[in-house]
Amino acid sequence: MEKETVVWAKDAFENIIKKMSFVYERSKDKIPYTTINGVHDDHSVNDIGWWTNGFWGGIMWQLYIATGEECYKKTAIENEKKLDKLFLNYKLLDHDNGFKWLPTAVANYRITGDEESKNRGILAADNLAGRFNVNGEFIRAWNDWDGDNIDRRGWAIIDCMMNLPLLYWASETTNDPRYRHVAIKHANKAQKHFVRENGSVKHIVEFDVETGKEIRDYGGQGYRDGSSWTRGQSWGIYGFALSYDHTKDIEYLKTAEKIADNFIQNIPESGLIPVDFDQPKEVTWEDSTAAAIAACGMLKISEFKECSDKDKYFNTALKLLKTLTDCRVNLNEKEDDLLLKCTAAYNDKIHDFSIIYGDYFYIEAICKLNGKYINIW
């Protein structure tokens, strides 16, 4: 990195460490998703199955590695143990097992070698692998939802690319190739059916549950069917880069670069990322989480010697992170939110709030630039 880059990234790192020390004291007993009037909510009691509930633990592990402070380790482990309730309710286990247990149990095992954490990670991987449709060669996304009659048995989503590292880890840890086989089959299916010719991605694809034939795709959390939901692009960039990292299949790296190139071509002059690259010009809604995740993915791509243009992806990641740092990071120590202007879904009624995975991926990227982080994925 150039000297100027080192300075701003170092300052951003130090600002994170300082702010999060205050946030920690207020939120150490919680599992947050967002903030209400600047105060973290808590999903650990009434919504323990929520898909984002591993990211607070992930933040704690990143802060532990960055600072060596035992308090962060303690809270990360508490977050991990709170998720044990999910193993007793199959409705709370889905394609997002990686998001829940990679930043918690698997991170713990990698750092401490704890056998109970290893067991949790393998149990989560077993459940995720069990969602694999053998004929269709895809991992089913959501379970049935109470209160509607929508058939989601054949639904798969681009987000699941980020959960595949749980299966790669399980294969490496148990020396059992079955987990890896499932991950590769799903990645191949996603590569063929989710990534459009121009490098944009679909959010949801529905497959025939008996044959695996593609039936149709849905706009999902994006603007509309056929549009380019930016967080989906980000999941694709990082997810395929991670599949390459674990398998060394060059086609995954090429796919990650293809999606990243499309993302780069659509970055607005401001550097602030919209919820959907195809949203109407008069709509100003942003998703800072998409910027942070894409930056993490591009940093990952730039690590590989086989990368077609390391500087392009690395420098784009820096620009995304620098823009967030300058324009969308809240350093007010009395408020819990860090990354501002996040959006869960385009068609939600609420936009412009903080989301815990936005904070996580921003922290991961800044810690990585400073060489003080754990590779969770």
Q: Catalytic site residues?
A: 96, 159
Q: Which residues, at least 6 apart from 4, have a Cβ–Cβ distance to it below 8 Å?
A: none
Q: How far apart are CA 291 and CA 273, in angstroms?
A: 6
Q: How far apart are CA 7 and CA 206, in angstroms?
A: 47
Helices (H) and strands (E) in the chain, counts: 13, 7
Cβ atoms of 123 and 169 within 8 Å: the answer is: no
Helix (H, G, I), strand (E, B) or coil at 246: helix
Q: How far apart are CA 256 and CA 240, in angstroms?
A: 5
Cβ atoms of 321 and 369 within 8 Å: the answer is: yes
Q: How far apart are CA 337 and CA 332, in angstroms?
A: 9
Q: How far apart are CA 78 and CA 104, in angstroms?
A: 9
Q: In whole angstroms, how large is the CA radius of gyration of the chain? A: 19
Which residues face 342 on adjacent strands? 353
- Secondary structure in 3-state letters for 78-105: HHHHHHHHHHHCHHHCCCCHHHHHHHHH
Q: How far apart are CA 159 and CA 164, in angstroms?
A: 10
Cβ atoms of 313 and 238 within 8 Å: the answer is: no
